Structure 1
Amino acid sequence: MRFTVGRVGSLISGRYELKEHIYTSNMSSVLKAWDYKEDRFVVVKISTDTVQYSNLVECLKREAGALSRIDHPRVVRVFDSGNIGPSHFIVLEYIHGTNLANYIHRHGRLFLDAAISVGIDLLEGLEAIHKEGIVHRDLKPENLITTRIGVKIIDLGLAVSTPAAEQKMDPLDSPGMVSGTPPYLSPEQAQGSEDLDARSDLYACGVILYELLTGALPFYNFKKDGQIFKYWQGRLRPFWEVSPAVDVPDKVQAVVWKALAVDPKDRYQTAEEMRMALLEVMEKYVTIPLP
C-alpha cells in the first residue's frame, strides 16, 4: 500500500509550500517548495513508499545527518528534516543550475578547460565530504549540478561513514549488497565490498572526467541491463578511439587512467591529491564557467 505524500500546493511543517515536482521515483519525491519563514525556495525530498521500501526513512535520515556535518560551497546544504505520517522529509538548498547529465545529453562532451574545471570543483566538494569520514558511493553526472559559479554535489542518500567497521554495522546494506549506479561503481564497490573508502569515490571521478572529455563511457563491454560486475574487467577505451578529432593531452589522460586503476592502491589516495594533479595540468588552460 502506498502512502501518498507530496501533493503540490500542500504545506509541510507550517512553512514549506510545495510548488512543483522536480522528479518522482518509487522511493522518493523531490519537489521545489517555498519556505515562508526564510522567504526562499528550497527542495523538499520525501520518502514515498515506506511499506515496499522499509529502509527509506533511515536512508533520508542518513542523508540529512551526513549533510549536516558538511559546510562547503561545493556540497548541497541541508536546512531541516522531519516526519509526515510514516514518511520522512528533508529540506535542502535549492540550486539554480543544470543537472550535469542533462548538460552532457544536450551538448555532448565539454571543452577541455571546462571539463577540468568541473573535475576540480567535484574534487573540492569530495575533500569536504571525505574530511568528515564520509564516502558518497553514488557519484555520477545526475548528482552534480552545474551553476555559473561552479559545481555542487547532491544526493548523499547512499553515503556511509568510515572506517570500515562503521560500514559493516550499517543497517541499510545487506552483506554483499551492491549500492550505487553502474557504470560509476569502483571494482570493489561492484563486488559488494564492505571496506569502501575515499578511493572508491575517486574511481567514480575518473569515469565522470572521461565522460566529460569524450561524451562516452570508458568501457568496451558495459551494458546497462547486463552484469554490473563485468564492465570494468576488460580494457579501457583509449581517448583517441572514442573521440579521434579531440586532442586530450597526455597529462590529462594520465590523471584519468590513474583514477580508473582497478586496484585502489594504484589510484590517487585522496581527493586533494587528484585535485592537485588536475590543477597542475590546468595551468596550461584558461578556466571558463559552464553556461
Structure 2
Amino acid sequence: MEKFISHSAAEMIQRSGANIGVGERQPVTVLFSDLKSHAAFRDGVSEPADVLSRVNDALSRQAELVKRYGGLVDKFIGDRMMAVFKGDDRVWPAISCAISIQHLMELDDAGSDHVLVPGIGVSAGDAVFGAVGSADRLDYSLLGPVVHIAGRLASEALPGDVLLSQDAFETVKDRISGEAITPMKLHGVDEPVGVFSLATGTMRQSQIFEARSAAAPDGEGTWAAGAGGPEEPQRPAMTLSSLEPGTILAKRYEIRRVLGSGGMGVVFQAHDRDLDEPVALKVLRPETLSMDPSILERFKTEIRVARRIAHRNIVRTFDFGEADGIQFISMEFVQGMTLKQLIRSRGCLPVNVGLQIAKQTCAGLAAAHEAKVVHRDVKPQNIMLTYQSEVKLMDFGIVREQEKVSTTQTGLVMGTPDYMSPEQAQGKSDLDFRSDIYSVGVVFFEMFTGALPFSGDSAFSVALKHVHEVAPTPRSVNPTIPEALEAIIVRCMAKDPAERYQQIGELQADLYRISSPAKLTPA
C-alpha cells in the first residue's frame, strides 16, 4: 500500500478505521523540495522515459535521506516532494536533511547535461492531519499555514537554496548560520513571514548569494574596474563539500557547521579537540588558488597582519594550517549576528544603540590603523555583534599594510561597492586610513537610517555614484537623527579625503562628545 500512498496516510487509515475524517492536530516541521532545473525535459528536448527516469531517481534519493533523518515523505506532486517531521524537536533533523539533500544532488549532478537542482523550503508549526476530499474520493492531507509557507518557500528558493521560515530558524539559530532576506507576503496571512537563506556550504552557495544580491535593490557584491559589472561567482572545490559535520580536519578540528561563504573561502564552525574549545575555520577555495596563485599569499597576509592586531573589538586570528590539500586559517569563534543581519531585521537602530556599536567599531579600526593596516572592506557584514553586546571587526582578507607597496594592481577594485570610498572605486592603489573612514561613514549612514546612501542596477553603477554623486543627508532619510550625529556622518563621507577625519581617533572623540544625553536630542 505504501508504494502508492504515503506512510502517514497508511498509518492513519489503519488507526482510524471508520473515523478517518476526524483528523488530529500535531506539531510538525514540513520540508518541501522543488526540482528547478529541468526545463529541457519539459520542452521536449529529452525522451519522456528519460524525463521520468531522472526525476524519479532524484526524488528517490531525496526520499531516502528523509527516511534516514526520521522524516516521512507525505506526497509527491509532479517534481515536488513534501516531507513531514513530526514533533516539537524535529526542526533540526529536517534542516540537516535539507542540507544533505543539496550536497547529495550537487555531487550526483556534477557534469550532467540536465542538472536537477532542488530549491527547498522548511517551516515549523502546528498542522491538522486528516482525510480531505469529496464523497467519492478522500485523500490524506496535511493542512495549516506551516504547509503553505514551506511550499511557497520552496517555490521562491533559488536552485540549491534552502529557505527557512522565521519560526524554524529561531528554533535552531544557535546551530546554523542564515541570512535574513526579504520577508514573504502570503495570502490570508496578515503579517509578512520572515525568511532566512541557510548557509549550506555547497558549491552553489556563492552563486545563490550573487543571484540574490543582483536581484536585491541594495545588492551587495564585488566589482573590478573595467570589468563592466559584478565578478562571476566563484565555485568552491569539491573537497569543501566533503567537510560535513563530524569531519576531522588536520587531525584536530571537528567540523560542526557552515557559518558563511565569501569570495576567497568558506567559514566553518569547528571544535578544536586539542584545546577543547570552539573555533572558526576559514578554508580557502582550492579552485581560486589554481586560477590565481597570488590568492594564497593574500591569505597568508591576512593572518600575518591580523595576528599582530590584538584588541577586544577585533576577531582574534590564531594560525595558518594546511592538511589534505586544504589551506585554512583558525580564528576566534564569535557567537552572535552581523550588523547587516541586525539592520535587515530591525531597520534603523536607536541612536544610543547605534552609537555603542559605532564607538566599538572605531576602537577596533583604530587598533588596525595603529598597526599600519588599512582594512579596505569595512561593511556591516564584517562587523559581528556578540550576545554580550560586544562588537568585533573581522575579515582582513584584502587588507593593505600602509607603509608597504600595495600588491593590488591599479585599476583593480577590491571591496564591496556599497561601502567603497571614491578613491577605492576608482581603483587607486595608494589607499590610506581615510578610505576606511569613508566606509565607516557609509556603515553609520545605513545603521542610523536603515538605508544605503546609493543604490543602482549594478555594482558598477553604485561604485560610480560613490565617485560622482553627492549622498543624501542622513536627516533627509531619517529626520530623528540628531544634527550633531549627521554632521559626523557627512564629514566621514566627504568625497575629498582631505575633508574627512584624518585619523580614526578624531572620529572617536566626536562620537564620545555627542554621546551625552543633551547632545543626542534631535533638532
TM-score computed with the length of structure 2 as normaliser: 0.51
Deviates more, 1:146-155 or 1:44-53: 44-53
User: By how many angstroms is 1:23 displaced?
Assistant: 2.1
Residue 135 of structure 1 is matched in structure 2 by: 374
Change (3 A) 1:225 1:181: closer
State the distance in 2 between where 1:24 and 1:259 align.
Answer: 29
State the distance in 2 between where 1:70 and 1:241 align.
Answer: 38
Identity among equivalent positions (%) equals 31
Deviates more, 1:147-156 or 1:3-12: 3-12
Residue 120 of structure 1 is matched in structure 2 by: 359
Q: 2:499 aligns with which of 235, 245, 266?
A: 266
AA aligned opposite 1:111 = P
Q: Is the CA contact 1:190–1:228 (under 8 Å) kept in the aligned structure 2?
A: no
Alignment map for 1:224-263 (pairs within 5 Å): 224-232=458-466, 233-243=468-478, 246-263=479-496
State the distance in 1 between where 2:453 and 2:331 align.
Answer: 33
User: By how many angstroms is 1:149 displaced?
Assistant: 3.0
Is 1:36 the counterpart of 2:278? The answer is: no
Q: Is the CA contact 2:258–2:268 (under 8 Å) kept in the aligned structure 1?
A: yes
Q: Is the CA contact 1:203–1:261 (under 8 Å) kept in the aligned structure 2?
A: yes
Higher RCO structure (Cα 8 Å, ≥6 apart): 1
Is 1:150 the counterpart of 2:385? The answer is: no
User: By how many angstroms is 1:223 displaced?
Assistant: 4.0
State the distance in 1 between where 2:405 and 2:411 align.
Answer: 12
More helix by share: 2
State the distance in 2 between where 1:146 and 1:153 align.
Answer: 9
Structure 1: segments with no counterpart, 5+ residues? none
Is 1:76 the counterpart of 2:312? The answer is: no
TM-score computed with the length of structure 1 as normaliser: 0.90
User: By how many angstroms is 1:203 displaced?
Assistant: 0.4
Q: Is the CA contact 1:223–1:231 (under 8 Å) kept in the aligned structure 2?
A: no
Superimposed CA distance per residue, residues 187-214 of structure 1 (whole angstroms, 9 cap, x where no aligned partner):
1111111111111000001000010100
State the distance in 2 between where 1:68 and 1:74 align.
Answer: 13
Change (3 A) 1:107 1:275: same
User: By how many angstroms is 1:21 displaced?
Assistant: 1.1
AA aligned opposite 2:506 = E
Alignment map for 1:78-117 (pairs within 5 Å): 78-117=317-356
Q: Is the CA contact 2:488–2:507 (under 8 Å) kept in the aligned structure 1?
A: yes
User: By how many angstroms is 1:284 displaced?
Assistant: 2.0
State the distance in 2 between where 1:178 and 1:150 align.
Answer: 31
Q: Is the CA contact 1:113–1:286 (under 8 Å) kept in the aligned structure 2?
A: no
Residue 237 of structure 2 is matched in structure 1 by: 2
AA aligned opposite 2:474 = F
Residue 291 of structure 2 is matched in structure 1 by: 52
Q: Is the CA contact 2:473–2:490 (under 8 Å) kept in the aligned structure 1?
A: no
State the distance in 2 between where 1:72 and 1:252 align.
Answer: 26
State the distance in 2 between where 1:268 and 1:14 align.
Answer: 48
User: By how many angstroms is 1:60 displaced?
Assistant: 1.8
State the distance in 1 between where 2:298 and 2:424 align.
Answer: 18
Q: Is the CA contact 1:182–1:224 (under 8 Å) kept in the aligned structure 2?
A: no
Is 1:180 the counterpart of 2:415? The answer is: yes
Counterpart of 1:42 in 2: which secondary structure? strand
Residue 203 of structure 1 is matched in structure 2 by: 438
Deviates more, 1:188-197 or 1:45-54: 45-54
Q: 2:516 aligns with which of 283, 286, 289?
A: 283
Deviates more, 1:174-183 or 1:50-59: 50-59
Structure 2: segments with no counterpart, 5+ residues? 1-235
Q: Is the CA contact 1:57–1:87 (under 8 Å) kept in the aligned structure 2?
A: no
* Runs of 4+ deviating beyond 6 Å: none
Change (3 A) 1:286 1:256: closer
User: By how many angstroms is 1:77 displaced?
Assistant: 0.3
Counterpart of 2:268 in 1: which secondary structure? strand
AA aligned opposite 2:494 = A
State the distance in 2 between where 1:286 and 1:33 align.
Answer: 45
Q: Is the CA contact 1:139–1:204 (under 8 Å) kept in the aligned structure 2?
A: yes
Counterpart of 2:345 in 1: which secondary structure? helix
Is 1:19 the counterpart of 2:256? The answer is: yes
Q: Is the CA contact 1:22–1:30 (under 8 Å) kept in the aligned structure 2?
A: yes
Q: Is the CA contact 2:379–2:443 (under 8 Å) kept in the aligned structure 1?
A: yes
Change (3 A) 1:23 1:177: same
Superimposed CA distance per residue, residues 128-147 of structure 1 (whole angstroms, 9 cap, x where no aligned partner):
00011000000000000012
Deviates more, 1:120-129 or 1:148-157: 148-157
State the distance in 1 between where 2:499 and 2:515 align.
Answer: 23
Residue 215 of structure 1 is matched in structure 2 by: 450
Q: Is the CA contact 2:417–2:460 (under 8 Å) kept in the aligned structure 1?
A: no
Residue 231 of structure 2 is matched in structure 1 by: none
